[in-house]
A and B are shown apart, each in its own frame.
Chain A
Amino acid sequence: MSTGEVEKQERNARGIPKAPFISNVDEYLGADPDAESALKDLQAVLAKYRYMDGNLTTRRRSLEEKIPDIKKTLTMVEFLQERREGKSKAGEDGDDLDDEDDLGDEVSKKPLKTTFELNDTLYAEAELEDTDTVFLWLGANVMLSYKIPAAISLLRSKLSAADASLQNVISDLEFLREQITVMEVNIARVYNWDVKTRREKREAAEASSGKKEIQA
């Protein structure tokens, strides 16, 4: 009964149900107050919230790792593009450059020398060819080649998608925190109400048995 009520409640933007606050425990438990099963239901819902919380925290951590990586890759590709544009501009107006003659559409060959990582502590030197194609590792053993402008637009869209998801995940986490607190408060209230009711029943039973003794 009570879990059904929880599910019928409002949900936030991404389908996380809002936890109802039990202001009046008597009313919540209804005519036949069964505190034990109510507590069990509430605890089940709380466990679900906690599970979601764990999932979102993991997702957030992995997003926070990926985003700087995407930014770095985007910067590199933009740098490569600028270099190419820089070179082709130099070729157009540099008629008196000596070494600009015979290399087809490739202008003054100033190849980029870079040290790249072979292993954790091992680097080697290589010359980058002047190419308009870059290769992007998309994960899951998939690597695709893209022309530089296409690569730049792909990386930009990936970055904005990752940023947006990160914002969503962070706001979901905050919402979940609130709901978890509400559920914990509910559980405490039902438990306390149960303790109070039992004590009252016991006192009433003792009082009435005390009266019977006096009468008898």
Chain B
Amino acid sequence: MANAQPQQINLAELDLSQLSDVRRQLEDELTHLTNSFTQLKQAQAKFKACIENVAEVRPQNKDKVILVPLTNSLYVPGKLCDLENVIVDVGTGYYVKKSRAEAVKHYQAKVDFIQSNAENLQEMVQKKQDNMSYLVNVMQMKLQEQSAASAKTSK
């Protein structure tokens, strides 16, 4: 069934079983989009956390003893030695040493990028929800017509 935009197909022409198929399809798409949206939000929260972490690496913390994680469960006491630069994973196996300000800018750019994607996604979700409610209306109308018609024929 070709239904890129349900309003272009005249929903009133479809019968009830086809309408329920369209509805199931819309629900699947809606679930998928909502999941993607949640994932985007999670990624955005992670990058925001990175910005805060960069803020921790500041000159006031020099010479303070910290517990340095060497593995998941092993920590060794140590001191921060480089307080102006941090290393950022920019993807595809590249790690770049950036100054703190540059790192903050980098993460902020990522956060903004995800924000715009999330907004796009939200619009799409809204449109699908509108389609869905329109579809449900049409289905209810059809149901009423059907029950009215069967009541007439039975009389």
- Kindly identify which residue among B66, B73, B77, B88 contacts A131, using a CB–CB cutoff of 8 Å: B77
Nearest 9 CB-CB pairings of A with B? A121-B89, A125-B82, A123-B87, A135-B75, A137-B73, A128-B78, A127-B81, A73-B74, A118-B53
Contacts of A138 in B (CB 8 A): 73
Q: Using a Cβ–Cβ cut-off of 8 Å, how many residues does chain A contribute to the interface with B? A: 33
Contacts of A137 in B (CB 8 A): 72-75
Contacts of A76 in B (CB 8 A): 70-71, 74
By the criterion CB–CB under 8 Å, are B73 and A122 in contact? no
Return A143 CB to nearest CB of chain B, in Å.
7
Contacts of A113 in B (CB 8 A): 81
Which of A70, A121, A127, A137: most chain B CB closer than 10 A?
Answer: A121
Task: Decide if B108 is an interface residue (CB 8 Å cutoff).
Answer: no
By the criterion CB–CB under 8 Å, are B89 and A122 in contact? yes
A138 and chain B: residue at smallest CB distance: B73
By the criterion CB–CB under 8 Å, are A117 and B78 in contact? no
Q: Using a Cβ–Cβ cut-off of 8 Å, how many residues does chain B contribute to the interface with A? A: 34
Task: Decide if A23 is an interface residue (CB 8 Å cutoff).
Answer: no
Task: Decide if A134 is an interface residue (CB 8 Å cutoff).
Answer: yes
Task: Decide if B139 is an interface residue (CB 8 Å cutoff).
Answer: no
By the criterion CB–CB under 8 Å, are B76 and A135 in contact? yes
By the criterion CB–CB under 8 Å, are B80 and A129 in contact? no
- Kindly identify which residue among A73, A80, A125 contacts B87, using a CB–CB cutoff of 8 Å: A125
- Kindly identify which residue among B66, B72, B76, B89 contacts A80, using a CB–CB cutoff of 8 Å: B76
Task: Decide if B125 is an interface residue (CB 8 Å cutoff).
Answer: no
Docked Cα-Cα span, A105 to B126, in Å, equals 69
Contacts of A77 in B (CB 8 A): 74
Contacts of A118 in B (CB 8 A): 50, 53-54, 56-57, 86
Return A84 CB to nearest CB of chain B, in Å.
12
Subset of 15 A-B contacts with CB under 8 Å: A69-B72, A72-B72, A76-B71, A114-B70, A118-B53, A118-B54, A122-B50, A123-B87, A124-B80, A124-B82, A125-B87, A126-B78, A126-B82, A135-B74, A138-B73
Task: Decide if A136 is an interface residue (CB 8 Å cutoff).
Answer: yes
